[in-house]
Each structure stands twice: as C-alpha cells, then as structure tokens.
Amino acid sequence: MLQGIAASFFLAAAVSASHIPSGPPRLLSETGLYAGNGTRTIDSANRPFSPQYPLWSDGAAKSRWVRLPEDATIDARLVDRWDFPAGTRFWKEFRFGDRKVETRYLRKNTDGSWTFASYAWNEAQTDAILAPDAGLPNVAEIGPGRFHSIPAITDCRACHVPSEAAPGSGASRTEILGFSALQLSTDRDPGALHAEPLADGMVTLRTLHDERTLAPARPELVTTPPRIQAPDARTRSVLGYLSTNCGSCHNQDSSIANLGLRLKAPATLPHAAPPRAVPPHLPISLFSTTSKWEIPHAPAGESRYVTPGTPDLSAILVRMKSRRPSTQMPPLGTVLHDKEAIALVTEWIESLAPGT
C-alpha cells in the first residue's frame, strides 16, 4: 500500500499532465477483439498463441491473440527481428483468479509506429475501458497488501522498444516479445517456467509456414525449429526465463546495451554450433564482470552478475529475490516474488563450477 502511495504521491503532477490517448478506441469491445453484438466471443480472425517462455506477471493467467491483415505477410528476413504489416493487432488478457483485470493492445500503424494501450475491466466483466497514458495503480489486489497496476505507456515502451528513435528519424522499432521465432518454435522447452499449454488452433511457426505468412518462407524454422543452445535442460530453461524476463531490456540493441549485460536469447537453430558451457550469446563477462549495483554486505568487488557456485554473490539472483522498488529486477511489471524462478536460478548457479 505504501508503495502505491509513494508511486502516486509525487506522480500527481505527472498524472495531471497525462491525457486520454486519442488513437486507440475508448472500449476494448471497439478494438475488434470480439465478434460483436455485445458478445464476448473472440472474433475468429483473431488467432490465439502461447509463447514458450512467458513473462512472469505475478501468477496472472493470460490469453493472447494476433490478427494479421488479410493476405499480408510478416517480413522475416531477419529471424530475430520480424517486421509486421500495418494493421497488425495483438491483445493480451490478464486474469487473476476468475476475474479479468486488464487487456493490453498493440496496433501497427501505417507510418510504422505502434499504438500501445491498456484496458481496465469493469466490475461487471462486460467490457474494459481505456486506461490513461499514465496507467492506473492498484487496480486489483493479488495478495495481502499487494496490487496489480496497469502500466503507463512509457513503461510498456521501456520493454517493447529497445531504443527510441531520434525525432524525425522515423518510428522506433517495437518488438512483440511473445510472438517471435523462438517463442513460437514447435521445439518447446518442457522445462520452461510457467509454461502455458499449447492448445489446438494456436499459432506456431508451423502455422505461419503452412499459411505462407512469413516472407521469405523460411522452411528451416519448421524442419529445425529454433531452441536455446545449452549444455543441459536446466540451463536451457534458465536462459529462456532470463531471455523473456530480463532480455527485453538487457540486449545488444537496447539503449542500455553499454551496461554489457545481454540476456536475450537469439533464435539460434540447433546444431548451428556445438554446445558449450557458456552459450555463445551470453558474454563471458556474465560470470566475471562486477555489477555496478553492489550486493548489500558483499565484500568489495565481489558483486558479479553471476558468481558460479555462489548464489548469494550473484547480483542477478539477489535482485530477482527482492521486491523493494529500487532493488528488484525486473524493475516493473511485478510485485510478487517468482518463487519457482528463484529456486531454479539458485540451483543453476549452485551447479556452475567455479571458474566457469
């Protein structure tokens, strides 16, 4: 509660300066998600999908849909950087218990930009209303004194936009974090944390290939589906988790790339290179670089991102285990510990041989 007060206390001026965006519709029912006529039936043109490495959102149940313009294709010349056609829409519904709380909406515009919007569900669960640009704090209690908040548009962009374009240089590149070659691979990680079942009818790489939605066709994504290179199953799952929950900001294209922490896994095709103890996309510096953020009470110079064999001296894990606003990682989008992830990453670090 104090965090909610703190968050809103000094943001009063900022909130007063925000405005209801004129771009997206006022109601979720007006975005095209539903079949219409007041029904909550999903329009058949909106295809469900499920990323293999979902983002931790405090245990929220989620449903996702994509709608591509008819006969349009996704520019897949770069396997890890898809370019979607204008008119593409994504929705992501968040539920806690049996109640819908929020639905997020992304729409690709003709000028190359994306419209970001979040919708807050009403008590009657009949529709959701567009949230202000500044977001809405504490919309649902998800634990004793802990609340889910609808993020500000700037918070959405913090993860979805690696680096903001300079004014006048065109639209910033936006990433759809749950809809990518790795996330839709049919070689799904059985150990992926919080994995959501892949149901019939969900879009996968095979779907996109069979329906000729990718241009160029990229049949290799079906014959040898992408997977994270790792020496063992646990490392694979850990790297997948870190890729989704950390890699959206900590990657080579990000505005904070010079921090040197790169955790976003590429859609590396299997057998592209022999497995090694340290997957190639991870800099060796992960295990030897001292974190600028110092672990409390750690000896000077001993706060590495990951200290093999020593979880308590691994800054990544220490920050994952915190939900203090100035310490926690990720810094937004979660207020509850991800206990499963903490346990898995702890085991992983303990298993790493010193000197890795």
Site for another protein in 67-126 (CB under 8 A): none
CB of 150 to another protein, least distance (A): 15
17 sits near another protein (criterion: CB under 8 A): yes
Asked if 171 contacts 110 with a C-beta cutoff of 8 angstroms, the reply is no
Nearer to another protein, 83 or 294 (CB): 294
Q: Which of 216, 326, 354, 355 binds another protein (CB under 8 A)?
A: 326
Asked if 135 contacts 118 with a C-beta cutoff of 8 angstroms, the reply is yes
Q: Which of 129, 202, 217, 336 binds another protein (CB under 8 A)?
A: 336
Nearer to another protein, 52 or 254 (CB): 254
252 sits near another protein (criterion: CB under 8 A): no
By CB under 8 A, how many residues form the interface with another protein?
Answer: 43
Asked if 107 contacts 89 with a C-beta cutoff of 8 angstroms, the reply is yes
Q: Which amino acid is at 236?
A: R
CB of 163 to another protein, least distance (A): 7
Asked if 104 contacts 156 with a C-beta cutoff of 8 angstroms, the reply is yes
Asked if 100 contacts 33 with a C-beta cutoff of 8 angstroms, the reply is no
Site for another protein in 157-176 (CB under 8 A): 157-159, 163-164, 166-167
60 sits near another protein (criterion: CB under 8 A): no
325 sits near another protein (criterion: CB under 8 A): yes
61 sits near another protein (criterion: CB under 8 A): no
Nearer to another protein, 168 or 354 (CB): 168
Nearer to another protein, 159 or 203 (CB): 159
CB of 120 to another protein, least distance (A): 21
**What is the Cα–Cα distance from 259 to 237, expressed in whole angstroms?**
24
Q: Which of 30, 78, 327, 350 binds another protein (CB under 8 A)?
A: 327
6 sits near another protein (criterion: CB under 8 A): yes
Asked if 330 contacts 245 with a C-beta cutoff of 8 angstroms, the reply is yes
